[in-house]
Amino acid sequence: MIRLHWHNLRFPPVDQASPEGLLAIGGDLRPERLLEAYRHGIFPWYNDDQPILWWSPDPRAVLFPEKLHVSRSLKRSLRQNVFTVTLDTNFRNVMEQCAGPRPQYPEGGTWITGEMLDAYTRLHDLGHAHSVETWQDGHLIGGLYGVAIGGAFFAESMFTKVDDASKVALVRLVQQLQAWNFRLIDCQQSSSHVMRFGAEEIARSDFVKYLTEAIRLPDRGGRWEFDRED
């Protein structure tokens, strides 16, 4: 495991990661380092009582936009238009909601630390991080956020307060990314949730190849909006 130094933004090759995927420790969360990490298939994940830990797991969970699977029940929710879905209208609030209490953190902990919140809000201000918001009667009830580079979207976290709210946000995002010719959505690690949408596990070496091609596409920076439906 490599210890990162502030003045050096370079990461070791991802094939040097531990069997669990841990690649490096330390460094900082300035935008330049975060973007360098994502370009090479690396992401930070740590708790408040830990130093910054950098990961590149093998295998990698990836959703190719054209392989999106939507269940029949979710299709009904989409057709009924019971939710309003927006892009980049409330980024920090979405992150704060994602950092809220979760069943997997029974003692109230979260990996979305205050340091992470500030760092990704900065990425959002620079046009690299984006959020999807689901609304009902003027209330934010679900959403997700992530980072975009070229034709790759790196999904970070989602939350929901009403059934299907975050699922609708994800479907709308994937459909929009496909229309924008995005090549892949990085889900980082597999879970039953993302697998239901058509995500699959691929070898890290294959992921790096797909990622290298995807990030060569032009960036879609700035604030995002859904394409208007004709």
Which of 151, 148, 75, 157 shows the shortest CA–CA distance to 117?
157
Confidence at residue 106, expressed as pLDDT on a 0 to 100 scale: 42
Confidence at residue 107, expressed as pLDDT on a 0 to 100 scale: 45
Domain 2-57 in CATH 3.30.70.3550? The answer is yes
Same fold? 2-57, 61-214: no
Length of the chain equals 230
Tokens of 172: 């709308």
Answer yes or no: are the C-beta atoms of 88 and 131 closer than 8 Å.
Answer: yes
Q: Where are the domains of the chain?
A: 2-57, 61-214
Q: What is the mean pLDDT of residues 164-178?
A: 97
Q: What is the mean pLDDT of residues 166-186?
A: 97
Write the DSSP symbol of residue 221.
-
- Mind listing the pLDDT tens digit for each residue in 5-59? 888 899 999 999 999 999 999 999 999 999 999 999 999 999 988 999 999 999 9
Placement of tokens 């918001």 in the chain: 133
Distance CA 79, CA 171 (A): 12
Q: How many CB atoms neighbour CB 98 within 10 A?
A: 21
CATH of 61-214, one of 3.40.630.30, 3.40.630.70, 3.40.50.12280, 3.40.30.10: 3.40.630.70
